[in-house]
């Protein structure tokens, strides 16, 4: 059981502090996430080594009724024109929902239901997003700064990445003439 008496949350930066043993930190470089981009030809080593995103999450018990709390930091950039993004997932217990709250940066939250219908919500400082169960979700950074997003979700939800790895999202976003432009994938 986690004791949060020493944990703090900096609402400006998203930083979670507390006992190291109670905070999980993970990061993904572009080389870790290559498979999700449409075109990865011609990338140099410096690009492959860039940070795509990192997360900080409190290590709470993954029990029914529990809540998970974390911050995602999505870096700015494009891969052959496609904006940096998170892997995206459904929840493993599919009906589990989630809140996102943007602290800094600008981007899009791409949402997709089980029938592959997609829609987006604009993510910008203080925007609050409710992600219902059975909806896949992915963040896209369309700005030049780190997109920082607080997330709170059912701690037993789990992450189903495999469905997205196999089928992808039904839309991708590219920077065309400086603007986010959707390209439907079917």
Tell me how far, at minimum, the Cβ of 153 lies from ligand PAN, in Å: 5
Contact 70, 26 (CB under 8 A): no
Q: Closer to ligand PAN by CB, 54 or 175: give it.
A: 54
Residue 162 has which token pair?
Answer: 């495999």
Q: Closer to ligand PAN by CB, 153 or 173: give it.
A: 153
Q: Which of residues 56-115 bind ligand PAN (CB under 6 A)?
A: 70, 72, 86-89, 98
Choose the contact partner of 106 out of Zn ion, ligand PAN, none; CB within 5 to 8 A by kind: none
The dihedral formed by the CA atoms of 68, 71, 72 and 76, expressed in degrees to the nearest 10: 170
> Measured between alpha carbons, how far is 2 from 44 in angstroms, rounded to an integer?
42
Contact 135, 112 (CB under 8 A): yes
55 contributes a contact to ligand PAN by CB under 6 A: yes
Work out which of 151, 155, 171, 173 binds ligand PAN, going by CB under 6 A: 151
Q: Measured over all CA atoms, what is the biggest interatomic distance in the chain, rounded to whole angstroms? A: 51
Tell me how far, at minimum, the Cβ of 177 lies from ligand PAN, in Å: 28
> Measured between alpha carbons, how far is 142 from 17 in angstroms, rounded to an integer?
28
Q: Which of residues 94-113 bind Zn ion (CB under 5 A)?
A: 98
Tell me how far, at minimum, the Cβ of 91 lies from Zn ion, in Å: 6
Q: List alpha helices for 13-161, DSSP H.
A: 30-33, 45-48
Q: Which residues bind Zn ion (CB under 5 A)?
A: 98
Residues in contact with ligand PAN by CB under 6 A are 55, 70, 72, 86-89, 98, 137, 139, 151, 153, 159
């Amino acid at each position: 059981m986690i004791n949060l008496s020493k944990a703090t949350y900096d609402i400006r930066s998203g930083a979670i502090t507390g006992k190291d043993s109670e905070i999980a930190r993970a990061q993904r470089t572009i080389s870790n996430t290559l498979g999700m981009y449409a075109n990865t030809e011609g990338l140099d080593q410096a690009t492959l080594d860039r940070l795509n995103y990192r997360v900080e999450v409190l290590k709470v018990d993954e029990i029914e009724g529990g809540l998970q709390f974390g911050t995602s930091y999505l870096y700015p950039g494009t891969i052959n024109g496609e904006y940096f993004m998170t892997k995206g997932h459904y929840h493993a217990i599919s009906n589990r929902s989630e809140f996102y709250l943007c602290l800094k940066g600008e981007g899009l939250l791409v949402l997709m239901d089980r029938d592959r219908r997609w829609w987006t919500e604009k993510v910008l400082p203080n925007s609050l997003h409710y992600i219902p169960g059975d909806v896949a979700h992915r963040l896209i950074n369309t700005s030049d700064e780190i997109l920082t997003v607080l997330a709170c979700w059912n701690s037993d939800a789990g992450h189903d990445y495999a469905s997205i790895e196999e089928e992808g999202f039904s839309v991708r976003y590219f920077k065309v003439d400086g603007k986010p432009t959707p390209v439907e994938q079917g």
